[in-house]
Structure 1
Amino acid sequence: MKKFDKERLLLAVAGPVIALVLAIALTSVVLLASGKNPIEPYQLMLQQLPFSDIQVLIINQASMYYIAALAVALGFRMNLFNIGVDGQYRLAAVMTAVVGAHLALPGFLQIPVLLLVAMATGAFWAGIAGVLKVTRGVSEVVATIMLNAIATSVIGYVTLADVWGVQVGNNMTTGTMAKSGWVPGIDLGPEVGEIYGLVFLAILLGVAYWVVLNRTRFGFDLRATGASETAAAASGVNAKRMVLTAMLISGAVAGLSGLPLLLGDTHTYSLSFPSGLGFTAIGIALLGRNNPGGIAVASLLWAFLDKASPALDYATPVAYDKEIATIMQGLIVFSVVISYAAVRQWGLRRQQRRVGAELAAAAIAAGATNTKKEVAAR
């Protein structure tokens, strides 16, 4: 049985905890500088947690964040920075909405087809960056940033009235999807709301992510290539193929990010469909240290800040700007970089001291043995 490593657990937890504490401290400084109470905003947001409708909103939002963050984390584990998750997820959502509006199969076929369309679209868009990297050496950061911009233009074209766009009031949509493609959720009543049915898909993806990375040969090859392409190649791993495969899988997962909302609520893609999800996912993946459990906690935290912050607008006698939550989210990302660097250095120093102590103990033991032999020889 594998021995429980307390020090490793401590190092894993220390980074996120330090990042959160530092972010709260820095946000409090900002509040003090603006002449506001540095504690009350946190109290007001925490007071929203007991409300069932807020809890449902947090869970629904967290499911989207979680899937997108898994896509980012897959790239990180391969030492790839897939900054194009936002474009991949939006393009996948619009193409899924178009197919769903023009295809009406029975539900047991319609939903799998829509899931495949989303995954194929996301994989295709991420695969462009992957091909450019392995064939031309183009940085995936540059390629995916440019692809985000192109995705926005493609979405604008797709939603034109003479293509697949449908005018609804002042908003351009892709039309309402066939009901056979709607994914039912858990209805908790009109005053509480409905938990998206694809929340369970997010959970399954998290389990699959852990199993593949930690219990399969492919996962080992992926992590080994991310750690050192040279070492991986020496053990027979095709590094370029792994890079392309990782980008394709990351894009496929990113393509699923918008489906909890699309198939569970809006049933159409419109100009009001949320953007920026992919960039938020980067901070969540960093805070969660690319671990499915850590990403889940970080997703819930981010969703809580999003959904509880509107209460700040109604505070009395002095209202607070809800952008305080956005500032805190930004400071969390900033703090993650600092805290993880500090924890890494601390861990290295502890490891060096432990190795030094073990070597000293071995030297002392060897000296004692030699002394006994000399005494016995005399």
Structure 2
Amino acid sequence: MTALRRLGTSLAAPALAVVVALVITTLVIVLIGQNPLTALQVLVDFGDTPAQQTQAIVVILNRAVPLFLAGLAVSVAFRMGLFNIGVEGQYRMATVVAAGVGAAVVLPGPLHVLLIMVVAMAVGALWAGIVAVLKVTRGVSEVISSIMLNFIALGTASFLLTGPLRGSPEGASIITTERLPASAQFPALNGLFGALGLAQPRGQLFGFLLVAVVVGIVVSVLLKRTRFGFDLRATGLSPSAATASGIDARRMVVKTMLISGAIAGLIGLPDLLGRTYSFGTEFTAGLGFLGIAVALLGRNSPLGIAFAALLFAFLDRAAVPLQFADIPASVVTIIQGTIVLSVVIANEVSRQVTKRRAGRQSGQATPPAADATGPAGTRIDARQEAGA
């Protein structure tokens, strides 16, 4: 019964957020003179033919993969009580450098892809490490430093793209790095559709989906089944209590930001290795900021983040069809923004309810005042400090 109650509490906040977002979006659509049912039909319309339906699935999955990685990067920092708002800059820097390195070397296929991944993770970790060092050595808020580093990253990436790593000719309307060779291109997963007896889509399903699944499993095991994950969660709950228990909180900040940045470095690789094969001025932007919303909706759980990424990808796919139905594509942005606002409020309400319930249970378990001065009283104080 307790497990079911915990599951219900975990699902209540995101479910309430989605419901509130749909209600508000319905009101907005009515106010602009459109039919909400038409918008709903567009959202759930995957096409008339089997090929169109599988193509819609491919579009959703391809969009969900980088969103999932972005959500994971943000959630690792969240677990530590850190707000890594610099994921946007970290993945942009990682992708442009990885694209340049990948185009400059010649290696066998698997090694070439592995090199690009290692470079991207290293650059992302390095960029996030700057935030961690500033925090532990100078007490600089990670929010402020990561925001500033986002601007520095965008400017540096632009310099690299138009200077040392430029691959497009002079006068080209779209500036890109050199195109990656075939050995650096990640194979697609379209063979799965044939194996499942489904029609072949027009586009390619990112093979990087498998890497994202592996990363999600590794992060889940790391956070829930290892000593490091326990130390990370404990430090996030109460740095003072963690330090008193022998955990080096400053070192944990650095390690956590390095891991978060390394995951952020992978965000741009699904597009780079599976579709564009180069980094350019039209490369997908904004994934780092969307990752914050995905992590919040997924309540920092890898499984929850996966469902949140699929939801956001499902909404993004409908932007163009909505325009064909004379409904502004900004409706999608309204839904996503309302979900973020609603989930923040719902999470806070859920946290307060859980805190009050825990307080009542703790009060019932507290021994009489005359006996509360011994070891039992000490344990109560430790629990209260950990919950602070």
Looking at structure 1, the residues matched to 145 and 218 of structure 2 have their Cα atoms a distance apart, in angstroms, of 28
**Aligned residue type for 2:127:** W
**Aligned residue in 2 for 1:32:** 30
1:33 Cα deviation from its structure 2 partner: 1.9
**Aligned residue in 1 for 2:40:** 42
Alpha carbons 1:111, 1:183 under 8 Å: kept: yes
Looking at structure 1, the residues matched to 365 and 225 of structure 2 have their Cα atoms a distance apart, in angstroms, of 34
Looking at structure 2, the residues matched to 91 and 9 of structure 1 have their Cα atoms a distance apart, in angstroms, of 38
1:355 Cα deviation from its structure 2 partner: 5.8
Q: Deviation string for 1:171-228 (max 9, x for gaps)? A: 1111101221111011357743221111011101111111011100000001111111
For the aligned residue pairs, the C-alpha RMSD in angstroms reads 1.9
Alpha carbons 1:225, 1:231 under 8 Å: kept: yes
The match for 1:12 among 10, 13, 20 is: 10
**Aligned residue in 2 for 1:109:** 111
TM-score by length of 2: 0.87
1:349 Cα deviation from its structure 2 partner: 3.9
**Secondary structure of 1:5 counterpart:** helix
Q: What does 1:109-128 correspond to in 2, within 5 Å? A: 109-128=111-130
The match for 1:262 among 251, 255, 272 is: 272
Looking at structure 2, the residues matched to 158 and 243 of structure 1 have their Cα atoms a distance apart, in angstroms, of 30
**Aligned residue in 1 for 2:234:** 224
Change (3 A) 1:131 1:213: same
Change (3 A) 1:338 1:39: farther
Q: What does 1:288-367 correspond to in 2, within 5 Å? A: 288-315=298-325, 319-352=326-359
Looking at structure 2, the residues matched to 252 and 56 of structure 1 have their Cα atoms a distance apart, in angstroms, of 26
**Aligned residue in 2 for 1:246:** 256
1:345 Cα deviation from its structure 2 partner: 2.6
Structure with max Cα Rg: 1
**Aligned residue in 2 for 1:164:** 165
**Aligned residue type for 2:328:** D
1:347 Cα deviation from its structure 2 partner: 2.9
**Aligned residue in 2 for 1:80:** 82
Alpha carbons 1:186, 1:195 under 8 Å: kept: yes
Looking at structure 2, the residues matched to 99 and 178 of structure 1 have their Cα atoms a distance apart, in angstroms, of 11
Looking at structure 2, the residues matched to 355 and 247 of structure 1 have their Cα atoms a distance apart, in angstroms, of 34
**Aligned residue in 2 for 1:367:** none
Looking at structure 2, the residues matched to 43 and 343 of structure 1 have their Cα atoms a distance apart, in angstroms, of 32
Looking at structure 1, the residues matched to 349 and 159 of structure 2 have their Cα atoms a distance apart, in angstroms, of 47
**Aligned residue in 2 for 1:370:** none
Between the two proteins, the alignment pairs up a number of residues equal to 355
**Secondary structure of 1:167 counterpart:** coil
**Aligned residue in 2 for 1:146:** 148
Looking at structure 2, the residues matched to 330 and 89 of structure 1 have their Cα atoms a distance apart, in angstroms, of 22
1:337 Cα deviation from its structure 2 partner: 1.2
Q: Which runs of 5+ in 1 are unaligned?
A: 364-378
Looking at structure 1, the residues matched to 222 and 178 of structure 2 have their Cα atoms a distance apart, in angstroms, of 37
TM-score by length of 1: 0.90
The match for 1:198 among 183, 196, 208 is: 208
The match for 2:21 among 23, 28, 38 is: 23
Looking at structure 2, the residues matched to 281 and 202 of structure 1 have their Cα atoms a distance apart, in angstroms, of 14
Task: State, as a whole percentage, how many aligned pairs show the same letter.
Answer: 45
